[in-house]
Each structure stands twice: as C-alpha cells, then as structure tokens.
C-alpha cells in the first residue's frame, strides 16, 4: 500500500472518526478544566488526545495523542509526508487540515473548538515552515505588527537582545533578510506575542550549517527560559540534541513516544522511521 493509499484509507473503526461537536459536549470542554483523557497519569500542560484531521477527503492525522509538560521541548519527527506539519497546523487550529475529532488542551484551555486566532490568543505560537515575513514592512514593523492586538509577549528590545542581527537590521525590509535572519524574525515575531506553546516547523530548513548553529544556540536560550516547545525538523539529530522527548509519526500515527536519548541510542528505529 502506498502512503497516499494509506492516508486515503478510512479508519478501521466501524463508527469512523467522531464529530467533534457530537462527541465533546460543552460540559466536557470547559476552560479551566483539562482533557478527558491523556497519555500520562496527570493532566499535562499541553495535551492532544486522539486527534483526526483531513484535507478534504484525505485522512492525514489519524488519531494522534501526546502530552508535553511545561518547559519541555518535544521533537516531532518522521519521514517526509508523515503528517508533522499537518499535526502542528491542527494544533494551531489552522483551517486546513480540518480537525474532525479529538481534544487539544493548553494550560487548561480547550483549543479543539477554536479558530486559529483564538488559539493564538490562548498562547499557541506557530512559526510556519515558509516563515511568512510580510513584504513591504521593515524588521521592526513586522515585530510591531505581531503586537497590534493583545496578548503581547516579549518587548521588541528583548527580541533584539536574543537576535542582535535583527536589531542591526531593524530598518531593513524583512523580505530582503537572509534565510537565517528571516527565520530569526519569524521566531522573534512569535515571541513578541504572549506564547505558552511554541511550534517550530523546520526552523533549520535551507540554512547553512553555521546559521543552523546560531539558531540552535538561540533555541537553547529559549529552552533555558522554560518555553514549552514542539519542534519539527528534518535535521532529526539536531532536534534530538535540543529536545527532552521525541514523538515519531509514521503515516499520520504516533509510532514512538519517549526520550530523545532513546531515539539517539536506537539506530534501528532511526533507520526505520527517520531514514538516518
């Protein structure tokens, strides 16, 4: 069976994926409460439980469940097309893929019934793979735009302290920055909002090794501040060195949930699911 056929396959269960609204009545999704189920013993800071998401008819995220503790960095790994970006987008409540069932909780807030702007207000900060720097605006204007509506996070000066290159280029148009600088701006712009969960989609993609190292050092600093983070990266070894835990996806399902060190130590698993 090809990957595409696998994704197109309907779920095994007779009932199929359940409708969010049928299955999760209001009383089960009250702000201040927590998920009805999760993968650990305690309600986690972030938890997604049995999420199913589709692009049209294509069934992509197939019952993904995992938790993230406060301050933890989790590497979400898997081969091309495994469903990593789709999972991040579902968590950030972007319209596509559409979440058909499952629960997503962040700091006692149910995200699964929300739109992306509401999830953002609740502290989800997605740094997308394509960085989305706004054309025609300077570095500083890109940062200010992030703060146009509450909740405001880091001050712009604090972003410049973390990324001095951005401070030096504050008057430069954002889209004329180098790839690495644009990645810094994309991360800085997200931190300029009040973020509780940072979602990084391939932050090292297309960057020279020396720039990757520079961004890695910054992510270490962000980690030291206790920012709860999910990082998706093709450069799995780099992500595993940064992360506390790893989740491996294959064909839209979780096939491993454990420590980053376990993945580093298991060459067979890396070969099977990450091809490294």
Ligand X SMILES: Nc1ncnc2c1ncn2[C@@H]1O[C@H](COP(=O)(O)OP(=O)(O)OP(=O)(O)O)[C@@H](O)[C@H]1O
Beta carbons of 67 and 114 less than 8 angstroms apart: no
- Find the shortest distance in angstroms from Cβ 9 to Mg ion: 21
Q: How far apart are CA 168 and CA 139, in angstroms?
A: 10
Residue whose CB is less far from ligand X, 95 or 157: 95
With CB atoms as reference, the residue minimizing the distance to Mg ion is 85
**Least spacing, CB of residue 129 vs ligand X, in Å:** 7
Smallest distance, Mg ion to C-beta of residue 83, A? 8
Give 180 or 252: the residue with its C-beta nearer to ligand X: 252
Of residues 27 and 80, the one with the C-beta less far from ligand X: 80
The 10 Å Cβ neighbour count of residue 263 is 26
- What one-character-per-residue DSSP string does 173-209 give? BGGGS-HHHHHHHHHHHHHTB--SEEEEE-TTTT--H
In this structure, what is the dihedral angle of CA atoms 176, 149, 215, 170, given to the nearest 10 degrees?
Answer: 40
Residue 35 interaction partner, one of Mg ion, ligand X, none, beta carbon < 5-8 Å per kind = none
Nearest approach in angstroms of CB 199 to Mg ion is 12
Distance CA 25, CA 260 (A): 36
How many Cβ atoms from other residues are within 10 Å of residue 138's Cβ? Answer: 16
Orientation angle between helical segments 209-224 and 179-191, nearest 10 degrees: 10
Which of the listed partners (ligand X, Mg ion, none) does 86 bind, with a CB threshold of 5 to 8 Å by partner kind? ligand X
Told to check if 41 binds ligand X by CB under 6 A, we report: no
- Smallest separation, CB 108 to ligand X (Å): 28
Residues that bind Mg ion (CB under 5 A): 84-85
Q: Which is nearer to Mg ion, 88 or 240 (CB)?
A: 88
Nearer to ligand X, 58 or 221 (CB): 58
Q: Which of residues 121-150 bind ligand X (CB under 6 A)?
A: none
Using an 8 Å Cβ cutoff, are 71 and 79 in contact?
no
Select from 8, 28, 70, 96 the one that contacts ligand X (CB under 6 A). Answer: 96
Q: Please state at what angle helix 179-191 crosses helix 139-146, rounded to 10 degrees.
A: 30
Nearer to ligand X, 43 or 128 (CB): 128
241 half-sphere exposure, CB direction, 13 A CA radius: 8
CB of 86 to ligand X, least distance (A): 3
Site string for ligand X, 46-85 (x = CB under 6 A): ---------x--x-x-----------------x-xxxxxx
């Amino acid at each position: 069976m090809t990957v595409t056929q696998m994704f197109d396959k309907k779920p095994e269960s007779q009932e199929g994926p359940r409708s969010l609204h049928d299955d999760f009545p209001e009383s089960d999704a009250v702000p201040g409460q927590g998920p009805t189920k999760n993968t650990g013993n305690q309600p986690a800071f972030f938890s997604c439980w049995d999420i199913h998401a589709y692009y049209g008819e294509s069934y992509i995220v197939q019952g993904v469940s995992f938790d993230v503790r406060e301050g933890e960095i989790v590497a979400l790994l898997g081969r091309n097309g495994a469903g990593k970006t789709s999972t991040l987008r579902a968590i950030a409540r972007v319209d596509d893929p559409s979440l058909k069932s499952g629960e997503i909780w962040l700091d006692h807030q149910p995200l699964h019934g929300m739109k992306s702007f509401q999830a953002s207000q609740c502290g989800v900060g997605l740094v997308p793979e394509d960085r989305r720097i706004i054309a025609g605006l300077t570095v500083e204007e890109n940062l200010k735009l992030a703060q146009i509506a509450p909740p405001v996070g880091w001050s712009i000066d604090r972003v410049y302290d973390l990324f001095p290159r951005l401070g030096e280029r504050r008057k430069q148009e954002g889209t004329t920055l180098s790839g690495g600088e644009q990645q810094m701006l994309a991360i800085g712009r997200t931190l300029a909002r009040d973020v509780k969960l940072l979602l990084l989609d391939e932050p090292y993609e297309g960057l020279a090794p020396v720039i990757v190292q520079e961004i890695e050092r910054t992510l270490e600093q962000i980690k030291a501040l206790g920012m709860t983070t999910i990082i998706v990266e093709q450069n799995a070894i780099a992500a595993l060195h940064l992360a506390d835990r790893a989740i491996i996806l294959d064909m839209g399902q979780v096939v491993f949930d454990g420590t980053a060190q376990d993945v580093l130590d298991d060459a067979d698993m890396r070969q099977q699911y990450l091809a490294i």
